[in-house]
Amino acid sequence: MQEGKIKLSISKLIALWAFSECALGGILHAFQFPFSGLLLAGFAVTIICTIGYTSDKPSQDIIYGTLVAIAVKLALSPHSPVTAYIAVGFQGVLGALFFKFQKHNKLYYILFGSIALFESAIQKVFTLTIIFGNALWNSIDTTANQLAKNLGGTEEFQYALLLLIVYSLIYVVWGGIVGSWAYKLPYRIKKLDRNAVDLYANSNISYGEKKGRIFGILTIVLLLVTTIYVAALGGTKNDIFWTIVRPFIIITAWYLIFNPLIIFIIRRFINNQSSGILTVVDTIKEQIPHLRKITQQVAGYTTANYNGIERIRYFIIILILLACEEGEGT
């Protein structure tokens, strides 16, 4: 295609969105992208904004894309926690509402990104509270106040609340940045050097993917140990017992009862919407190896040629161009 005539395919954007919900996180961690958690959280926002900007029927296409992304995730990651599906659904419905009224107003993009990622942050906090209870936040307050006292402080302070506010603000600000950047994404894609991108796209360079999820497990273990330690310092035997037992009861009940039940309900809902969705899901499942290869290549290319925030920017731009340009083969 000629320079300046780049057109993105809505169906390919939806396929990339679905792929990102299932496999992008592992690739980002493998290539050690900075702030990979925030990048993954903002990627779906970027795709939704791009669909909203590109589509003639943005609200309808975003809702359809949401159903497809959830259906693909159900097919490829059936053991994902139900909160992951809630996040996808929330972002999709919110995006459809925003782009139903305005698709070329930058403020809408910023607000959409901020609200979408604020929900993501709150959902994580809510999940931790369900698992550990208030004992987690009390342990943070106790530990932080004890440390402050050792450093000469005298007044008690709610450090857990401060931590939650800062954590949420990071997601809100990042969401606004992502939305603002996504507003200009079609223009940025058109500015790419097509000769360089086409040469790279036709190369046979491949990059291996290392997998590792030890960090998430260690985080849960650290939170549990900290909570138990603080409970042991000032709690009764009953407090200590429930601090230890509660997470195991909640997690076991969640994964054996509630998670399968809610996912079953979601699957029934998706299957009842349209038989065409199942056909699309099968098509996207066949495209997964191709999308994985492109993503690994782009991740390797940007890792070798860019640093910091530029690496993130060009990873998203080049990936969307190579994976979603209309007329390009899959």
34 is a domain residue? yes
3 is a domain residue? no
Question: What pLDDT, on the 0 to 100 scale, is given for residue 214?
Answer: 53
Among 85-94, 235-244, 251-260, top mean pLDDT goes to: 85-94
203 is a domain residue? yes
Does the pLDDT value for residue 275 go beyond 70? no
5 is a domain residue? no
Question: What pLDDT, on the 0 to 100 scale, is given for residue 195?
Answer: 66
Give pLDDT tens digits for 37-64. 889 889 999 999 999 999 999 999 999 9
Give pLDDT tens digits for 205-218. 554 444 445 555 55
Phi, psi for 139 (deg, rounded to 5):
-65, -35
Higher pLDDT, 238 or 145: 145
320 is a domain residue? yes
329 is a domain residue? no
Does the pLDDT value for residue 201 go beyond 80? no
Structural domains in the chain (count): 1
Q: How many CB atoms lie under 10 A from the CB of residue 196?
A: 10
Specify the residue for token string 């998203």.
316
1 is a domain residue? no
Question: What pLDDT, on the 0 to 100 scale, is given for residue 2?
Answer: 38
Range of the domain at 280: 10-324
293 is a domain residue? yes
